[in-house]
Structures are given as C-alpha cells and as structure tokens.
Amino acid sequence: MPHSRIGEWPLRVHGDVVGWSYQQGEADRPLIGKTIGKLLHEVAEENPDRDAAVFVQDNERLTFEDLLVECDTFGAGLLSLGFKPGDRIGVWAPNCKFWVIAQYATARAGLILVNVNPAYQARELEYALKKVQCKGIIAAETFKTQDYYGMLSSICPELETSAPNDLKSERLPDLKSVIMISEKKFPGALSVHDVMTSGESTAFNRRLLEIQDKIQFDDPVNIQFTSGTTGNPKGVLLSHHNIVNNSYFSALRLNYHQKPHRICIPVPLYHCFGMVIGSLQNVTSASTTVYPSGSFNPEACLKAIEQEKCTSLYGTPTMFIDILHLPNFDDYKIDSLNTGVMAGSPCPIEVMKQVRTKLHMPEVTIAYGTTENSPVTFQTYQDDTIERQVSTIGRPLHHVEVKVVDREGRIVPVNTPGELCIRGHVVMHSYYQDEAATAEVIGPDRWYKTGDLATLDEHSYAKIVGRIKDMIIRGGENIYPLDVEQILYENSKIEDVQVVGVPDPRLQEQVCAWIKLKEGQTATADEIKEFCKGKISHFKIPHYIQFVEEFPLTVTGKVQKYKIREMATEQLGLSEV
C-alpha cells in the first residue's frame, strides 16, 4: 500500500482494526549499505570545492576535497604508527578541526573511534580508556580550566620519560600513543602534525586504500559512552550501518536532500547529537557543517549563523533559551535560518514559539533517541503543528520498529503508558565487552528497552511520560514528573523546572520541584503551590519547592535528575529517612 507517511490509517490484522502500541517507520527509501569512508570519497568527488566544515572561532575551513585529503593523510599516519583495523583510539577534545579529521580518518583506516567526554577528570578518563583498551588517544592541549596533558601524565607518569608512540603504562597497559592537538612539543607525545607528516608516505596511503576495500558496513566504527546520568558509563559499540543510516534518515526528515544546507552545530561532537546528526551530514547529505566555538557559547552561535548564513541550527532547549535571552540578540542578522533540530529534553511551548519566529525556524524538528540507538529513533516533521512539536517526540524514523509494553513485556493499547522499546538498524551492536549489561537491555529478539515511559497514539506519535527510574511513587500513587513540569511551565514567572521524588517516611516519596525563575521575577513556595491547585491532582502538587539558579547538567546539556534528587534530599535534611 503506497503512502507518504506512516500512521495515516489504523494498523489492521485480518481486516480488524487493532489499537495496539506497535508501529514501524516508513520504508519508501532503502537503507544505505555503504561505509563512512566510501561515502566521504563519493561526496568529495561530487562536490570538491563546496565547504565541508567551518570552524568559526579558529578561522579554519575545509572543502570536501580538503577533508578527504587531510583525513587520508592523517589516517595513513595512524597506520604508520602501527594502528591496525579494529584498534581503539580515543579523541578527547572540544569541537575543533582535528576532531572531525579524526572522525573520518579513523573510519577510513578501519579503526574504532572512542569519543571521550571533554569534561572528564583524570579518574573518569582512566576508566574510559581502560574499559575499551584504547591503544591511542588524540587530546587537546586544554579545555576551559583543564590541562589534558597534565591529567594524562597523572594517570601515566611514565609518559614524560617515554619515547613518542612507545608508552609503557602500568595503569593503562594498552595505551601506546598520545597525540596532542597542539603546535607545542610534549614529552612522550606526538603532535597531530607529526602524524600528518608520517601520513605522507606513499606506502601507507596505498595501505589505507586497500583497507577501504575490505571494511564492511556492519563493522564497528565508534564507541560512545552513555551520558553517565546514572552509574558508570558503558561503552556503546556502533557500526558504520548504525550511524550512517541514522544520519541519513534524520536528514531526510529535515529535507536536507532538497537543497544544500549549512548547519550550525554548537552541540558537542563527542556526543551522538553532534557527531551523527551533525558532522556525518557531510557525507549523508553533502551539507556544510559550521562549528561556532569549542564549546557552547550563545553569542558565538549568532555570529556563526550570520557570518556563514546558516540554514539550520541544532541544540538542546536550554541552548535555545540561552540564545534567545542574549541581551544583544537583535544585533545579529539570522534570517537565513529555516530549520533545525532540538533534542535532549521537552521544550516549553513559549520557547518553541520564539524559536519558530524570533529565530526564523518555522520548520524546526524535535528529535528523540538514545546513544544505544545511534541516536535518533523518533523525529517530528517540519510541517507538524506546534502542539505536536512540544507535546510529542514525533514518529518513528525510517525502517525503525517501536512498541510500548507493560511490566510483563506485553504490548499495551494505544495511548497507554508503558516502556518504549526499539528494534531495527538503529540498535547498537552491544555494550563493549559487557554481555551482562547488553542482555539487560537487548533481548534475543533484538528489541532494545529504553527505560523510558511513553505512550504511542493511533497516528504513531509518541509522548515521553518520564523515565521508569524517575517515576515518583507517593503513597501508592504513580506520579510522572513531566506531568507536573508541564503545569509549572504555564506559570509566566518560571523559566525552567525539574521535578523529582525525595524520601518520605510515611508516603515513601514526596514531590520536589526545583524552579529557575525568569530574570527579574520573584515567587514564594506557597504562591507556586496555589498556582497548581485546580490544574493537577492534589497529590501531584509539589510538597517541596526550591528556587535555584541552575541545574546539574552533563556536558551535552542533559539534566542529571539523580543529582538533583541527591542534592535536594541532603538540603532538606532527608538523608537519614
């Protein structure tokens, strides 16, 4: 049956309408069966002189031909150092030219790129490198207040007396090469320029091209660590097929195939959002990627949009709020914008209205996913209503199966809350060398359990109700934090809000709201409680209200609710309950 979109009619089995929470994405376009390296070669041949990547803060740009040549030179240089297909090599840096070069060079050389959070401290770095047995690491010189070489030396004191490319570390025995993104010389380390020079060898360039013909699209290409909002991060192993198709079908939802786009990417490359939905657009839609600065800076975003005439902008709701609230916002000409992606958390309707008007993004889309799903599994369409943009996560991506199940794993009726599960080309290979953790989330049938509570309607639009672990149980009543947050967002004094459960000796949990007020506004806890009366059930009204200036965030801008819960519990003197 031909169709332009899924869900335009009810699902039917043997002629009967079945109102169950199972759907699948469109299948009008086939999956791409190519590696990242092959796609880069093709796009560089077709668009050699088009801008591929622009790094505004550093005043650097690469055409597609430049990108291919520099990636192959760097990739050949890595081979000359003794790296072999399948070896893991980390990149630990803010957004910069050599992050992108490392991404494509490792893919061309058959290596597995390990994305290391640029905010990691020494202990977290050691854990990550040891977890996946990294043979090398490409590191920036500094990031904000962090001294990367100093942290590496604290973990591997042998580095300062080692010959470059010959590290023998007691704590990280697999690590052999430290490559610094710097003009400076560091004891025991190579620079990226040293590697580029080594890569000029004809023999290793020839070896790189030979490897290209052997890499399969199902081969692993990337390890990304879960964001660490709970527990120790796990290494998510992703293939070329996973991330190429995720990038491609997300671009299709944005209509990037209709004309060349210039995408402003302030989200970090280390995260799936920046690397897959962002950087990989170079090869999946021949788009130009524009990086305003090493890390998020709202004014740098506006400068980049104006200077590079960006047509698309990516970010979390918090990033969009910060951009919109810049005092000199009106000084910038940004009417080249039209579309973009917002992801990471729900967007308040008033913010979405401003994004569509003040930011000139009437065709902005909402995306939802997890690192384990490459990342996008749901995305809205450009012509969806504003109500659907703020209340749903859209419809399933192409070729993706989705279902909502109860605690026994049975599919629930439409519009009934349950755990959202995903199956298809997006699902990761595994957690790296962790069969037990993999088996907890992926069954023999390859359904991935997201841990998110969701509903799926008769038109295939999904709503995230909350995290299973975030659900508050107060006196036997289930309370979804998002329900309370959405009501509080209606208060004109509130800029942002997070709701968590805190311990209670009688009811098990009580509702606690952390509220960030708009600039210049004041409010009391009683005032907020009074506002809620008549809008939500009495047991959902926050018992505790705390006014805060900021929320604890991951480097990608994701709110760490477990930290809010811990901090609120301590501040309220509930630790011993």
Are the CB atoms for 165 and 194 separated by under 8 Å? no
Cα 64 to Cα 66: distance, rounded to the nearest angstrom: 5
CA distances from 265 to 244, 268, 315, 542 (A): 18, 8, 8, 37
Burial status of residue 382 (CB atoms within 10 A of its CB: 0-12, 13-18, 19 or more): middle
CA distances from 398 to 5, 312, 358, 377 (A): 10, 21, 31, 9
In sequence order, the 6+-apart residues with CB closer than 8 A to the CB of 489 are 348, 349, 350, 497
In sequence order, the 6+-apart residues with CB closer than 8 A to the CB of 224 are 115, 235, 236, 238, 270, 271, 272, 275, 371
Half-sphere exposure of 232 (CA within 13 A, CB side): 13
Please calculate the CA angle 365-370-371 and round it to the nearest 5 degrees: 120
What residues form DSSP beta bridges with 341?
314, 365
Question: What DSSP string runs through 70-121?
Answer: HHHHHHHHHHHTT--TT-EEEEE-SS-HHHHHHHHHHHHHT-EEEE--TT--
Start-to-end CA span in the chain (Å): 59
Model pLDDT, residue 405: 97
Q: What is the four-CA torsion angle of 128, 129, 133, 134, rounded to 10 degrees?
A: 130
> For residue 360, what is the enclosing H or E element?
none
Are the CB atoms for 336 and 312 separated by under 8 Å? no
Query: What are the extents of the domains in the chain?
Result: 64-225, 479-571
Model pLDDT, residue 280: 98
CA distances from 443 to 201, 417, 437, 439 (A): 47, 21, 11, 6
The amino acid at residue 243 is: I
CATH architecture of 64-225: 3-Layer(aba) Sandwich (3.40)
Topology annotation, domain 479-571: GMP Synthetase; Chain A, domain 3 (3.30.300)
Model pLDDT, residue 475: 84
Model pLDDT, residue 279: 98
- Residues of the chain with confidence (pLDDT) below 50: 1-17, 229, 576-577
